[in-house]
Structure 1
Amino acid sequence: MASASTNDIEFRSVTKNYGVVTAVTDINLTVPKGAFLALLGPSGCGKTTCLRMIGGFEQPSEGTVLIDGREMNGVPAYRRPVNMVFQHYALFPHFNVEQNVAYGLKQMRPKITPHEIDRRVAEALEMVRLGGFAKRHIHEMSGGQQQRVALARAIVNRPSVLLLDEPLAALDKKLRSAMQIELQTLQRELGITFVLVTHDQEEALSMADIVCVMSAGRIRQFGSPQEVYDRPADLFVADFVGKTNRIAAAMEADGTTLRLADGSSIASGKRLASGEVIAALRPEAIHLTRKAAPLGASFKGTVTHRIFLGSSAEYAVSVPGLGDFLITADRRSMNESDLVEPGEEVFLCFDPAAIHVFPASNA
């Protein structure tokens, strides 16, 4: 029965307490075999606690953790089909690359033959593109190479699940981007389940095929990166995953018309009960123009700041009665000029369907 499970990881009503502090509360989730899951959230949200309960470094106070259909409560870390890559790699500095990768294999019981150890180490190093580095000392490796040694050491035991505890946090931006691609490629080649813990929403969206957004020990949304970004479940998710503009409004009695603070109104694509609401609008959903668009909705405002980002630019625009808006625009999106200058009057044009509406109590 256990081997027939289609899920690698399951949490069933899992709660974890540390004395009087509750780190996670009533977590329920299932992770299919071969998925790349990102546990995403701010510091203290419970994501690392969940990772440690999968790895066996912590046990749930209530509920059940299962891996491949088998209950893991009480099973120590070394008896689980799981390996972990830590943020600071935890490599042995006095071992060379080959010795670091082989260490776990030499601890296995029953013992593996030296020939089999050599074969599997060489195979793991080839997978992470370090085939010619077996005899290299750890201090002679770059940060990206050390990370790949840690990956090779983790996959050489052929775990069912690989846990990644913010493994890219110590890398510079360019190397981090390169390693994101390498991790995706490696996960697809291996076909095993990856679980990544990160507070970096860009990292989660770009690498994972399932994103679990957490806050205050609870799951706020669980879905594909596109679902989480395009259809946030609540205002916390809309704010935390990507950037968003908040607009205070009131939903009128018809349940579909938003009345804004400046007295204007916008049709909402989401029906809500009448009352105070927050409308959320992504910066890239707004088109910056010098003339009002004939279709859709628009606000008139003044550019206060511009941040040049190379292929795009971010603008802060002050709209009377509504406050400040952030707009992300392609540099060539303006027909009259490449860039809009601070102090210029502009129109913020958008499709009302791009607005997400949440109850003000959700803020």
Structure 2
Amino acid sequence: MTSASTNDIEFRSVSKSYGAVTAVSDINLQVPKGAFVALLGPSGCGKTTCLRMIGGFEQPTTGEVLINGQPMNGVPAYRRPVNMVFQQYALFPHFDVEQNVSYGLRQARPRINAREISRRANEALEMVRLGGFGKRRIHEMSGGQQQRVALARALVNKPSVLLLDEPLAALDKKLRTAMQIELQTLQRELGITFVLVTHDQEEALSMSDLVCVMNAGRIVQLAAPREVYDHPSDLFVADFVGKTNRIAATVETDGSTLRLADGSALSIPGREGLKSGSAILALRPEAISLHRQNGSASGKLSGIVTHRIFLGSSAEYSVAVEGLGDFLVTADRRDLADGDLVEPNERVVLNFDPGAAHIFPA
């Protein structure tokens, strides 16, 4: 049995059904104390159901949820050492900022005196860098400031675990990036466990210590962000986390040669356990180098640029390769000989290291 001193949250064979629909199926999960964990997956994968079972808003159909080593089945939300920040911040528009933050303290029993409530509310506002904003009305606050008010309200009761249900979804891209940094900094300063639910892979990879990728009610990979991106456990993870080129291939009987659909062969030495037969080669766009086709250029694949998306310092290209289909390539402008962009309808050469590709059964 895992000690309560090492894990804040534990799921033991947890399933959750709504009638004939199974939302979560036989999940086992351990969240270490002080970790920032992201539950990542497409809509309907079960991530929000897991968050709600931690918070006490749902109860498992089977299995057990533990917080700080204590069983939580049947324990109502208000008796759990957790707080939650919702996607819609649910702030009271008729209260000022301090009244919103202190609302939970004013409901506590036994009662807390007014001076202590005010002190703790302002302390929580200082944590989220809103000191001096206590008397502002909610409609006078920007979207990012309202998000921090909701955070302060969740933190004022000093929970062991903070649950975040897509709290940045309503923010614009620039503000979302700023708030990602704010949340990371706050989590490190407080040292409490954060559990974030998101379908935004960039958000999960940039903010968390651990990424829990879910699909169809199950956990398919639990690992550090870099491990999930660089070494996906299956084709679903490779497709969902980041961008991936999927190339149909066949592993030949020697177990070290891939035959692509256009008949070309790739040597893949050192890949243990590959079985002969149909396979999918998954290749990240940034693992492919792109060069203009000229007298000196040579490469594994030749194709024609069909589309280009300019991203500033880099560009994304869609390249049609005969017999293999379209390839997505991310190219840094500095990697091109003249530093200029490749135009649609230009012929290019693509190079990649087969060792950078992931190979999955078809």
What TM-score, normalized by structure 1, do the two folds share?
Answer: 0.96
Pairing of 1:191-270 with structure 2 (within 5 A)? 191-268=191-268, 269-270=270-271
Deviations 1:159-212 (CA, angstroms, capped at 9, x unpaired): 000000000000111111111100011111110000000000001001111000
Work out whether residues 7 and 30 of structure 2, in 8 Å CA contact, stay in contact via their aligned partners in 1.
yes
Q: Distance in 2 between matches of 1:181 and 1:350?
A: 34
Of stretches 327-336 and 22-31 in structure 1, the one that deviates more from structure 2 is 327-336
* 1:48-67 correspondence to structure 2 within 5 Å: 48-67=48-67
More displaced stretch, 136-145 vs 1-10: 1-10
Equivalent residue number for residue 8 of structure 2: 8
Q: Given the superposition, is the C-alpha separation of residues 142 and 208 from structure 1 closer, same or farther in structure 2, using an over 3 Å criterion?
A: same
Which residue pairs with 2:135 in the alignment?
135
The one-letter code sitting in structure 1 at the alignment partner of 2:94 is H
* Equivalent position of 1:106 in the other structure: 106
Amino acid in structure 1 at the alignment position of 2:287: A
Distance 1:45 1:267 in 2: 37
1:292-303 → structure 2 map (5 Å cutoff): 298-303=300-305
8 Å contact kept, 1:292–1:347: no
Shift of 1:2: 9.7
The one of 319, 322, 326 aligned to 1:320: 322
- Could you give the per-residue CA deviations for residues 214-237 of structure 1, whole angstroms, max 9, x where no partner exists? 111011110000000000000000
Gaps (5+ residues) in structure 1? Answer: none
Classify 1:140/1:277 alpha carbon distance in 2 versus 1 (closer, same or farther; 3 Å): same
Partner of 1:32: 32
- AA paired with 1:27? I
One-letter identity of the residue aligned with 2:143: G
> Structure 1 counterpart of 2:170, which letter?
A
Q: What residue number does 2:313 align with?
A: 311
Q: 1:2 to 1:281 in 2, by over 3 A?
A: closer
Give yes or no for contact 1:128–1:148 (8 Å, CA) kept in 2: yes
Shift of 1:118: 1.5
Pairwise CA distance, 1:106: 1.2
Q: Indicate the residue corresponding to 1:152 in structure 2.
A: 152
Distance in 2, Cα, partners of 1:278 & 1:100? 53
Q: Superposition RMSD on alpha carbons, in Å?
A: 1.8
The correspondence of residues 38-187 of structure 1 with structure 2, limited to 5 A, is 38-187=38-187
Residue aligning to 1:330: 332
State the identity %: 77
Paired residues of 1:292 and 1:349 also in contact (CA < 8 A): no
The offset of 1:132, in angstroms, is 1.3
* Pairs aligned (count): 360
* Local SS of the residue matching 2:262: coil
2:283 corresponds to 1:281: yes
Return the alpha-carbon distance in structure 2 between the equivalents of residues 37 and 146 of structure 1: 23
SS class of match (1:335): coil
> Cα distance 1:211–1:3, how it changes in 2: closer, same or farther (>3 A)?
closer
Paired letter, 2:199: H
Following superposition of structure 1 onto structure 2, how do residues 330-349 of structure 1 map, counting pairs within 5 Å?
330-349=332-351
Find the aligned partners of 1:63 and 1:3 in 2 and give their Cα distance: 18
Asked if structure 1 preserves the Cα contact closer than 8 Å seen for 2:81 and 2:161, the reply is: yes
The structure-2 alpha-carbon separation of the partners of 1:134 and 1:247, relative to structure 1 and needing over 3 Å to count, comes to same
Counterpart of 2:276 in structure 1: which amino acid?
Answer: S
Structure 2 length-normalised TM: 0.96
Equivalent pair of 2:300/2:349 in contact (CA under 8 Å):
yes
Q: Say which SS state the counterpart of residue 321 (structure 1) adopts.
A: coil
Structure 1 position 296, deviation (Å) = 11
- CA positional deviation for 1:332: 1.5
Structure 1 residue 57: deviation in Å?
A: 0.2
Preserved CA contact (<8 Å) 1:205 1:225: yes
Gaps of at least 5 residues in structure 2 are none
Distance 1:254 1:295, change over 3 A: farther
**1:130: Cα distance to partner?**
0.5
